Amino acid sequence: MKVTFLGSGTSQGVPVIGCTCQVCRSLDFRDNRLRASIQVELSNQSFVIDTGPDFRQQMLRERVKRIDAILFTHAHRDHTAGLDDVRAYNFMQKMDMPVYGTQSVLEQLKVEYAYAFMKDAYPGIPRLLLNLIDETPFSINGVNIIPLPVMHLRMPVMGFRVGNFTYITDANFIPDSTLEKLEGTEILVLNALQREQHVSHFNLQEALVMVEKIKPQKTYFTHISHKLGLHAEVQKELPSDVFLAYDGLQLDVPLIVNR
Ligand SMILES: [Zn+2]
Ligand SMILES: [Zn+2]
Ligand SMILES: [Zn+2]
């Protein structure tokens, strides 16, 4: 299984428009962060989790030739705003794009992309095939996926586990029932926004506490703000098995199929 970080930044991305802080001025490519999203490739399948406003740019950068399904964690705009560009895949693959989300996510997509759901739709609109999920495990073309309910202040968000790989973004609370589902996960991706407390995201300290609880072999932090600091400097402070993700980072995850 291969995981590619399409974006590792918080809702505004890094650099932030108009900001002149040292992170936003940094020449280190790892300090340039598009909005958070990953591609997961396994068993001849290519899945994308979230399509933020940088979706088009991310698809071009990583030369993504095929997407078999899109999974949504939640319906905040920094995770959904790029979905119109799925049209490229509708044309290439000659199919409606299967989209997976909870009831509230699918309802929000119907509002944001109302033109894609009109009866007498204009030609050339994005073509979406909505699939409703809840916390019940589901499979896409033979790949088993475990949804992981977490909380983002008051908003329920889904993380996803595939085999021994887990992706959780936009959380500031993980209930015990979800922690149980994380048992044995080897590679964890978790959001860590900044150093200061935040109302709806784990900060660095809280994310490290979660890592201590979950005990994966390796952890990658994502959904990072310019306020966290320079990539190279923050990385030096972290435990040896915890890393800051960066855009374009690829992970080879040995897949345990029977989970
Ligand atoms: Zn977000
Ligand atoms: Zn800045
Ligand atoms: Zn969010």
Q: Which ligand is nearest to the CA of 33?
A: 2
pLDDT confidence bin for 254, thresholds 50/70/90: confident
- Cα(46) to centroid of ligand 2, in Å? 33
Those residues whose C-beta lies under 8 Å from the C-beta of residue 6, and which sit 6 or more positions away, are 34, 37, 38, 39, 48, 54, 55, 58, 61, 62, 247
Say yes or no to pLDDT of 258 above 80.
Answer: no
Q: Which ligand is nearest to the CA of 37?
A: 1
pLDDT at 12: 98
In terms of Cα–Cα distance, which of 50, 45, 53, 49 is closest to 17?
Answer: 53
Percent of the chain with pLDDT over 90: 95
Average pLDDT for residues 67-74, to the nearest whole number?
Answer: 98
pLDDT confidence bin for 250, thresholds 50/70/90: very high
Say yes or no to pLDDT of 256 above 70.
Answer: no
- SS3 category, 13: coil
pLDDT digits (tens, 9 = 90+) for 10-69: 999 999 999 999 999 999 999 999 999 999 999 999 999 999 999 999 999 999 999 999
- Cα(151) to centroid of ligand 3, in Å? 10
pLDDT at 119: 86
pLDDT digits (tens, 9 = 90+) for 16-31: 999 999 999 999 999 9
In terms of Cα–Cα distance, which of 205, 209, 214 is closest to 148?
Answer: 214
Q: List the single range of 7-16, 148-157, 221-230, 250-259 with lowest mean pLDDT.
A: 250-259
Say yes or no to pLDDT of 259 above 60.
Answer: no
For the record, the structure tokens of 228 come out as: 């966290």
In terms of Cα–Cα distance, which of 221, 100, 216 is closest to 168?
Answer: 221
- Cα(51) to centroid of ligand 3, in Å? 13
Q: Which ligand is nearest to the CA of 153?
A: 3
pLDDT confidence bin for 177, thresholds 50/70/90: very high
pLDDT at 55: 98
- Cα(225) to centroid of ligand 2, in Å? 8
- Cα(170) to centroid of ligand 1, in Å? 5
Backbone angles phi, psi at 85, to 5 degrees: -75, 0
How many whole angstroms separate alpha carbon 133 and alpha carbon 15? 34
Report whether 34 contacts 7 (CB < 8 A).
yes
- Cα(216) to centroid of ligand 1, in Å? 23
- The kind and range of the H/E element at 97 are strand 97-101
- Cα(72) to centroid of ligand 1, in Å? 11
